[in-house]
Amino acid sequence: DLHGTPIFPGGKYYIFPVSHDDTYGGGLRLAKTGDSKCEVTALQDDNIVIDNIPVKFSIPGISPGIIFTGTPIEIEFTKKPSCVESSKWLIFVDDVIQKACVGIGGPENYPHFKTLNDGRFYIEKHESGLGYKLGYCVKDSPTCLDIGRSGNVTEEGGFRLNLTHQVAFAVEFVDVTPFEARIKSVV
């Protein structure tokens, strides 16, 4: 994470852009996009002060351990809207914007789009040497792509996370535990 501590399955982490200044925006959240009636699209918020949603990682079939770079993982938000069964990340192909985007839920939340929910995500060092990048590998295929950012920030309030061959989104992970401890001590 940001402090050099290993990331563990089940831990809660915020995902932020490597730079925390206003030009890079804030952490991740869910939003309604296109004609969606439910907040199922993952966005990197354009505002650094909005309450972002942490994620937790898991290694399929393994509960303890450390998440090393390149390890196949599942990612899920720690909160979800009531209109979805699952907060696990999946990929959906938005034909309108011609991009494969990160979302949650299941095929029922994307009636007009193809979904991929049986592949695996992974974390790697970013090529810039600053922070990390996320990626996705399609099941039973050699196809793996980085996760980048795109979208109409004005309309959607942030950048969509999408699969890309181009520039990967450079991120850092911040453990939620110290923040939760501070909130509990105030309450």
C-beta atoms surrounding 9 within 10 Å = 18
pTM beyond cutoff 0.75: yes
Tens of pLDDT, residues 38-97: 999 999 987 776 678 999 999 988 767 788 899 999 999 999 999 999 999 999 999 888
Which neighbouring-strand residues pair with 16?
172
Indicate whether 120 pLDDT > 90.
yes
* Domains with residue ranges and CATH for the chain: 11-184 (2.80.10.50)
Segment 125-137 mean pLDDT: 92
Take residue 165 and report the two structure tokens written for it: 């061959």
- Residue 135, pLDDT score: 96
- Residue 187, pLDDT score: 45
- For the chain, give the number of residues: 187
The closest of 51, 53, 45 to 24, measured between CA atoms, is 45
